């Protein structure tokens, strides 16, 4: 057996179930070996798409996903998606062919390229060590939550190896079964947090990515301590169903949520960085409020806003350790329960519908879609001026109903995100919300949606512009010719790919979406929404402040 085949077999034995990639000569045998060992392989049309599909799949399943790319340009095409995954601590193993001979057209310094974006370069450098190197890459990805690029020099891939005997299989199974224990929080750190919770009149929990497995524990602790429950954007949906759910804290927060977080006397970040987005540059932390953070990583404590107290440990275990104790009403009152019920969602915030002249108000569009689309949905959004509309107005059933690949703030990842999420959750209707700029940037993957038979709804908020730039620079009188585009018939383009398509120029056109939903949904649907473009979003102004 050659090394390339052995590596694929080992990753399957370690528990990998899905791989995404673009196959060239340098990853052909690797990819076929994955497939022959039962791993599902999704062929993307661009490596950037493959990386983001894998990222989204890993986020929505909690599994390690594999990306498979050709040496050199196959890897560089994937780099933007890998930067997003690395920043988000998504566990990925990227199998990259490698031309080590500097005279090869395909040669680049692959270690330097991936290290530059925060991924971890590793290598199968010796056929005799292929099992050890491969399983170590898998272990680092899973247990250290890293995006690992496993370089596979072409000559090493082609070398014969003794692998395939019982020992490597057993080693892979051992890695599959092993789970290192999270660091146990110290009694002193736990006591400190208990004192803060027991002394707080108005505690708010803000749960992030590191809390997505800990809903039950946090709901119970919040019950005892009288805390209200919010999340960062990446954990949106975690507390759905609780009457004390404030939804997302930060740029997407409703006026009520912003008011209540700002009014807290204790904010506890649970597996949550409390970054500039989640705290609106710190402005959602009230002047006298105490801040505590619970995180696996000590370095996360106090990184973005000053923290009064840090607990290093697993969110669920820490919450469980604090659940016993006296009950407090805390921030919870019948009056607040009523306000959260009545004002706690963006839909309840009044606005004037500005649809007209052949264009639909993006708020009206999104509320209309929220009414029509089944509740069992999985929403992915691209980046841009439009992105708050789907993030704020489309409700999601739980934390696995929203996939937000925006740690790198790259435009163009939205469609691939929706594909990875759709592969992860075939039971949910996938919804991709894109701007026209992001739609054109990631457009190659429309073919992937059709080929995979995904019953996806792709909504394009088309303002014929890079609206983010228009709104940022327009008011200062700068020329905007570089960021405006002529109308493009995105519905026709989508039909060319094999989509069904509806053009929406006013609220009445949503009838076309209802029609599609009633049908067999054999083809995916693209909703080409010609949106009004005169309204800048203040959440994007927030983003520009962070540049
Ligand atoms: C890869 C990448 N290129 C450029 C940018 C800068 N940028 C931020 S928003 C934006 C416009 C996106 O346009 P569109 O998708 O139409 O959304 P809109 O802002 O119009 O709602 C651009 C070019 C970026 N963030 N990422
Ligand atoms: Mg646009």
pLDDT by residue (tens digit) across 93-124? Answer: 999 999 999 999 999 999 999 999 999 999 99
Contact 278, 267 (CB under 8 A): no
Which of 406, 437, 461 is the best mutation target for the ligand 1 pocket, counting ligand atoms within 8 Å of the beta carbon and taking the most? 437
Please give the pLDDT value at position 547: 53
Question: CB under 8 Å to 327, separation ≥6 — which residues?
Answer: 223, 224, 226
Please give the pLDDT value at position 164: 58
Measured from the alpha carbon of residue 537, the closest ligand is 1
CA distance 213 to 190: 20
Please give the pLDDT value at position 541: 64
Q: Is 436 in the pocket of ligand 1 (CB under 6 A)?
A: yes
Structure tokens at 478: 């700068």
What is the 304 CA–ligand 2 centroid distance (Å)?
31
% of residues, the chain, pLDDT over 90: 92
Which residue, judged by its Cα, is nearest atom 9 of ligand 1?
384
CA distance 465 to 39: 40
Please give the pLDDT value at position 150: 98
Q: How far out from the chain centre does Cα 247 lie?
A: 16
Which of 87, 411, 529 is the best mutation target for the ligand 1 pocket, counting ligand atoms within 8 Å of the beta carbon and taking the most? 411
Number of Cβ within a 10 Å radius of residue 310: 21
What is the 476 CA–ligand 2 centroid distance (Å)?
19
Please give the pLDDT value at position 539: 67
Please give the pLDDT value at position 429: 98
Measured from the alpha carbon of residue 388, the closest ligand is 1
% of residues, the chain, pLDDT over 70: 97
Mind listing the pLDDT tens digit for each residue in 326-371? 999 999 999 999 999 999 999 999 999 999 999 999 999 999 999 9
Radius of gyration, alpha carbons of the chain: 24
What is the 311 CA–ligand 2 centroid distance (Å)?
42
Contact 506, 360 (CB under 8 A): yes
What is the 147 CA–ligand 2 centroid distance (Å)?
31
* pLDDT confidence tier of residue 171, bands split at 50, 70 and 90: confident
Would you give the DSSP letter of residue 405? -
Would you give the DSSP letter of residue 29? H
Mind listing the pLDDT tens digit for each residue in 389-447? 999 999 999 999 999 999 999 999 999 999 999 999 999 999 999 999 999 999 999 99
Q: How does the average pLDDT of the chain come out, rounded?
A: 95
């Amino acid at each position: 057996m050659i090394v390339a085949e052995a590596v694929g077999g080992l990753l399957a034995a370690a528990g990998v179930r899905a791989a995404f990639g673009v196959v060239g000569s340098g990853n052909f045998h690797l990819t076929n070996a994955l497939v022959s060992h039962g791993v599902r392989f999704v062929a993307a049309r661009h490596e950037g798409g493959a990386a983001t599909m894998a990222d989204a799949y890993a986020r929505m399943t909690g599994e390690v996903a594999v990306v498979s790319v050709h040496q050199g340009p196959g890897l560089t095409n994937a780099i933007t998606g890998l930067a997003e995954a690395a920043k988000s601590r998504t566990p990925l193993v990227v199998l990259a062919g490698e031309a080590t001979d500097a005279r090869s057209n395909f040669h680049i310094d692959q270690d330097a390229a991936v290290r530059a974006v925060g991924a971890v370069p590793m290598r199968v450098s010796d056929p005799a060590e292929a099992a050890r190197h491969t399983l170590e890459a898998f272990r680092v990805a899973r247990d250290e939550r890293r995006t690992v690029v496993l370089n596979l020099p072409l000559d090493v891939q082609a070398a014969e190896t003794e692998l395939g005997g019982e020992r490597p299989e057993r080693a892979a199974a051992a890695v599959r079964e092993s789970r290192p224990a999270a660091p146990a929080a110290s009694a002193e750190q736990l006591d400190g947090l208990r004192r803060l919770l027991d002394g707080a009149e108005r505690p708010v929990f803000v749960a992030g990515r590191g809390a997505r497995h800990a809903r039950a524990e946090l709901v119970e602790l919040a019950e005892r301590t009288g805390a209200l429950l919010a999340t960062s954007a990446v954990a949106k949906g975690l507390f759905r169903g609780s009457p004390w759910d404030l939804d997302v804290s930060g740029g997407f927060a409703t006026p009520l949520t912003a008011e209540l977080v700002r009014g807290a006397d204790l904010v506890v970040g649970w597996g949550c960085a409390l970054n500039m987005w989640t705290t609106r540059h710190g402005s959602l932390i009230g002047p006298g409020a105490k801040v505590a953070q619970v995180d696996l990583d000590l370095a996360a404590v106090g990184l973005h806003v000053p923290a009064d107290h840090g607990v290093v440990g697993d969110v669920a275990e820490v919450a469980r350790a604090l659940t016993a104790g006296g009950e407090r009403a805390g921030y919870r009152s019948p009056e607040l329960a009523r306000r959260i019920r009545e004002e706690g969602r963006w839909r309840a915030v009044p606005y004037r519908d500005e649809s007209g002249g052949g264009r639909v108000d993006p708020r009206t569009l999104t509320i209309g879609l929220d009414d029509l689309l089944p509740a069992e949905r999985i929403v992915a959004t691209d980046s841009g001026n439009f992105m708050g509309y789907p993030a704020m107005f489309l409700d999601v059933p739980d934390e696995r109903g929203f996939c937000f690949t925006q740690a790198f703030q790259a435009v163009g990842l939205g469609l691939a995100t929706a594909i990875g999420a759709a592969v992860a959750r075939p039971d949910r209707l996938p919804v991709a919300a894109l701007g026209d700029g992001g739609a054109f940037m990631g457009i190659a993957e429309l073919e992937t949606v059709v080929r995979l038979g995904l019953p996806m709804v792709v909504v394009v908020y088309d303002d014929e512009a890079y609206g983010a730039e228009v709104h940022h620079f327009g008011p200062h009188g700068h020329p905007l010719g570089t960021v405006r585009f002529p109308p493009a018939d995105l519905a026709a383009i989508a039909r060319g790919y094999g989509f069904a398509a509806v053009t929406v120029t006013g609220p009445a056109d949503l009838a076309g979406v209802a029609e599609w939903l009633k049908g067999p949904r054999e083809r995916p649907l693209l909703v080409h929404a010609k949106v009004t473009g005169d309204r800048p979003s203040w959440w994007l102004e927030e983003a520009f402040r962070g540049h």
